[in-house]
Structure 1
């Protein structure tokens, strides 16, 4: 394996080691928080709600950073720097988008005003979508009317990123407003389903991505007739 191949493994490695364990903890604490609010007979400490909220904040930020890492690696490793489409000017523009997205995420984390949190949530998600729209990023389909779109690892990742940003941006309101709390529960269930789908489609994509030195031979194959020269 070359250095580029190891870079491609960074995204799934961080997902398995950091993100999915966090998902399990956040879901477990979320169920405990709900049980405590419903005043069941379970003896649960009063800190479960705060722990759920704090870990959920780290999970949301971690998912955004993980997606940005994946997009950056894909774009940067598609071609040598001398052959980068658009040249240095486009590369600088993309780096500014990446930096702006990260700064917006930090601002979202630190903001207290609802309007600012909403704005920074949208800016962060727009930054993710902008990087994901680059031609170097491979997507099964861009049309929701096709089956391939719903099987796409990329679009499921974009969707779960949006749900995470919603939970992060509306965190104080979720704690106070019952209607938003119910919406948060619905969003969390949908996010859990998408995370399961991400585990499946991500594993599938890893099987389909050849090592860097194998790409010329593999991409010379006919993927429709399923034969190679």
Structure 2
């Protein structure tokens, strides 16, 4: 393996070592919080300690930052590795400056989202964070770059795409962070039910991420193998 191959492993390694364990803890605390709330309403008391709700909130915020971070990292590797390979920093400096600014702006917007209190500002920074993720992910369309995009989206199989699952779950995590105050302030529980529904869907996408990510690691060749394997006929499964 060369340095480029090792760099390609940073995104999946962080996802496996940090993001997925946090997902497990968040789901566990979410279940306990839900059970405690139901028991308190039905029986008037619960043996589940009230701290589970606070832990769920704290780890949920950590999860949002981890998911957005690993998403940006996953898109940064192909963006900048292909830019170096194609000498884009010298041939298209304006494009590269724009992409660097988009990465910085997305991270800054997420930081401000964590700190924002008024609903309007939370909506603004959630929108900017989401927009930044989408602009980076679809950079070839926005910048009208000719040829294949640097970020492989698997557009021809979007329903099984690691990219589309990742983008969707990232947007859901940003939205969940933005509505935290509404969840606790809304006595009708409307926002709570929205939160539960969307995050159950996000959990399914996380499972899909594990499956599609494993598949993609099997499909991506090592650097020294690329020139040989890309000569293969993938339709007929024949190599010269």
Shorter-chain TM range is over 0.9
Q: Hey, what does 1:167 align to over in structure 2?
A: 176
Q: Which has the higher contact order (CA 8 A, sep 6+)?
A: 1
Aligned equivalent of 1:145: none
| Aligned residue number for residue 213 of structure 2 | 202
Distance 2:71 2:25 in 1: 20
2:99 to 94, 101, 121: 94
Match of 1:51 in 2: 55
Structure 1 partner of 2:232: 221
Unaligned runs of 5+ in 1: 143-147
Which secondary structure does the structure 1 equivalent of 2:152 belong to? coil
Residue 79 (structure 2) aligns with = 75
Residues 87 and 48 of structure 1, relative CA distance in 2, 3 Å threshold: same
Q: Give the counterpart of 1:62 among 51, 57, 66.
A: 66
Alpha carbon RMSD of aligned pairs, Å? Answer: 1.5
103, 108, 111: which one aligns with 1:103:
108
Task: Name the structure 2 match of 1:118.
Answer: 123
CA shift for structure 1 position 45: 1.1
Q: What is aligned with 2:145?
A: none
Q: Partners in 2 of 1:122 and 1:176 — Cα distance?
A: 22
Per the alignment, residue 136 of structure 1 pairs with: 150
Deviates more, 1:41-50 or 1:109-118: 41-50
In structure 2, the residue corresponding to 1:104 is in which secondary structure?
A: helix
Question: What is the total number of aligned residue pairs between the two structures?
Answer: 224
CA distance in 2, matches of 1:163, 1:216: 38
Q: Give the superposition deviation at 1:212.
A: 1.3
TM-score normalised by structure 1 residue count: 0.94
* Alpha-carbon separation, structure 1, partners of 2:224 and 2:120: 49
Instruction: After superposition, give the CA deviation of every residue in 1:28-67 in whole Å (9 maximum; x if it has no partner).
Output: 0001111111126751111111110110011011100110
* TM-aligned CA deviation for residue 129 of structure 1: 0.8
TM-superposed CA distance for 1:88, in Å, is 1.7
How far apart are the structure 2 equivalents of 1:118 and 1:224? Answer: 46
TM-score by length of 2: 0.89
C-alpha distance in 2 between matches for 1:218 and 1:42: 60
- 5+ unaligned residues in a row in structure 2: which ranges? 140-148
Deviation at 1:82, TM superposition (A): 5.7
